[in-house]
């Protein structure tokens, strides 16, 4: 992790000959303009490199691989429902595993990609997939989800009061409860939060969200009853267990990659390339989480925040380009292990998850 010294503020009055004739202020202004131009050039240069790679990629690389993974998750569902109807414990557990993995792929990877419009080049289809994955499959409001994630978190990454990931903090919970027990309640909390997010939306959007969430919930419940042959209570328990199977890493990933990194003031934030490289962290490759959550949420999170329109596979493809460029320009490319971050949050829970974070000012680049 990189320690970033705070920028010193000059509160005194200008001194010296340069301040008397105004040349000092002119030189400072010119220097600032040159620095701003250089920073814009950095982001533009990196963008050109990434866009070149995207243009040279086939549809299969840009969207096909991720669409295939999502399709495979849906195709596996019938086997999961059938196995859950087995009286053999081993087959039943295998059915639970299939349902849990499929649910994670659909509701984490699917909702995330659809919220960014990364599943289709057509705006109409992009809107359809956002409603389908976020509302029908994810039991949340598509409008509220896109607003919170894309328009707030991405636009204002690590900016205090805007995109600082504070929504993930529950200060009154102890560290053990928050890190290892509370995430299991995510399947119950999600639709409750969704109801609260309906305030201020149009009647049509409210009706659509309620109908879509109910459609997704009762479809799974009906199939567990009719195909798997489970009782009412057993079907509800299985739904809860399957939906909560990946809740622990889901919460962990969302806090590990931003909280504890530099936070910025809304009135004095750095340029985009500095904001993202200092405020975002990559986790290492993980075969299970790479497939269920997607590369953009795990080992390519820096790339995702710099270029949020890219699919998971494209984030992975441009990762060498981005990492090499940032290192050549002596910009941070932050990486840390899952266990390392978990230990950090466990031992510094009060500092990271309870107290207000300090504001960082990057020396010489404001």
Q: pLDDT, tens digit, for every residue of 35-79? A: 555 556 889 999 999 999 999 999 999 999 999 999 999 999 999
pLDDT recorded at residue 6: 41
List own/partner pairs for 55-59 with CB under 8 A and 24 or more apart.
57/314, 57/317
pLDDT recorded at residue 56: 96
Task: Report the chain's mean pLDDT, rounded to a whole number.
Answer: 88
pLDDT recorded at residue 133: 98
As a whole-number percent, the residues of the chain with pLDDT over 90 amount to 78
- Listing DSSP states for 256-283 in one string gives HTTTTS-BB-TTSPPPHHHHHHHH--BP
Angle at 21 between CA 17 and CA 27, to 5 degrees: 85
Phi and psi for 56 in degrees, rounded to 5? Answer: -80, -5
Tens of pLDDT along 322-356?
A: 999 999 999 999 999 999 999 999 999 999 999 87
Phi and psi for 359 in degrees, rounded to 5? Answer: -90, 130
Instruction: List, in order, residues 6 or more apart from 116 with CB less than 8 Å away.
Output: 150, 308, 309
pLDDT recorded at residue 1: 43
Region 178-197: mean pLDDT is: 93
pLDDT recorded at residue 27: 54
In this structure, the number of other CB atoms found within 10 A of the CB of residue 3 comes to 6
pLDDT recorded at residue 37: 53
Per-residue pLDDT band for 286 (boundaries 50, 70, 90) equals very high
pLDDT recorded at residue 47: 95
pLDDT recorded at residue 31: 53
Q: How far apart are CA 119 and CA 168, in angstroms?
A: 27
pLDDT recorded at residue 289: 96
Q: Strand, helix or coil at 73? A: helix
Per-residue pLDDT band for 220 (boundaries 50, 70, 90) equals very high
Per-residue pLDDT band for 218 (boundaries 50, 70, 90) equals very high
Helix extents (H) in the chain: 17-21, 23-55, 59, 65-84, 89-104, 111-115, 123-130, 142-146, 175-180, 186-197, 203-226, 232-244, 247-256, 272-279, 287-292, 301-306, 312-328, 338-347, 349
Residue bearing the bigger pLDDT, 265 or 82: 82
Residue bearing the bigger pLDDT, 310 or 365: 310
Q: Is the pLDDT reported for residue 17 higher than 70?
A: no
Asked whether the CA dihedral 62, 65, 66, 70 is positive or negative, the reply is positive
Per-residue pLDDT band for 3 (boundaries 50, 70, 90) equals very low
Per-residue pLDDT band for 244 (boundaries 50, 70, 90) equals very high
Give me the residue spans of the domains in the chain.
57-354
pLDDT recorded at residue 35: 54
> Taking the model in full, what pTM does it have?
0.86
Q: Is the pLDDT reported for residue 19 higher than 90?
A: no
Cβ atoms of residues 238 and 99 within 8 Å: yes
Tens of pLDDT along 164-180?
A: 788 888 989 999 999 99
Region 181-199: mean pLDDT is: 93
Q: How far apart are CA 287 and CA 108, in angstroms?
A: 15
């Amino acid at each position: 992790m990189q320690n970033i010294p705070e920028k010193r503020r000059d509160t005194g009055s200008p001194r010296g000959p340069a301040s008397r004739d105004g040349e000092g202020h002119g030189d400072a202004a010119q220097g600032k303009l040159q620095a701003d131009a250089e920073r814009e050039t950095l982001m533009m240069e990196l963008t050109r490199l990434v866009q070149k790679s995207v243009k040279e990629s086939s549809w299969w690389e840009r969207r096909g691989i991720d669409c295939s993974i999502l399709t495979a998750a849906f195709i596996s569902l019938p086997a999961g429902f059938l196995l859950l109807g087995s009286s053999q414990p081993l087959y039943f557990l295998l059915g639970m595993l299939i349902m849990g993995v499929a649910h994670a792929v659909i509701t984490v990877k699917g909702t995330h990609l659809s919220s960014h419009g990364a599943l289709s080049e057509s705006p109409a289809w992009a809107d359809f997939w956002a409603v389908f994955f976020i509302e029908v499959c994810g039991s949340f409001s598509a409008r509220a989800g896109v607003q919170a994630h894309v328009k707030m978190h991405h636009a204002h990454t690590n900016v205090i009061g805007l995109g600082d990931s504070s929504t993930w903090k529950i200060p009154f919970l102890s560290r053990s409860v928050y890190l290892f027990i509370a995430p299991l309640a995510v399947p119950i909390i999600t639709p409750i939060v969704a109801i609260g997010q309906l305030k201020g939306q149009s009647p049509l959007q409210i009706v659509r969200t309620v109908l879509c969430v109910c459609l997704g919930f009762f479809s799974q419940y009906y199939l567990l009853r009719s195909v798997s042959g489970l009782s009412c209570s057993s079907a509800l328990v299985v739904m809860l267990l399957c939906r909560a199977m990946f809740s622990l890493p889901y919460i962990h990933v969302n806090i590990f990659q931003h909280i504890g990194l530099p936070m910025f003031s809304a009135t004095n934030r750095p340029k985009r390339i500095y904001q993202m490289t200092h405020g975002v962290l990559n986790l290492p490759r993980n075969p299970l989480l790479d497939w269920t959550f997607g590369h953009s949420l795990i080992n390519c999170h820096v790339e995702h925040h710099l270029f949020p329109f890219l699919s998971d596979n494209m984030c992975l493809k441009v990762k060498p380009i981005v990492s090499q460029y940032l290192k050549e320009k002596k910009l941070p490319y932050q990486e840390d292990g899952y266990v390392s971050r978990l230990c950090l949050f466990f031992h510094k829970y009060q500092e990271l998850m309870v107290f207000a974070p300090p504001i960082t000012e990057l020396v010489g680049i404001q």
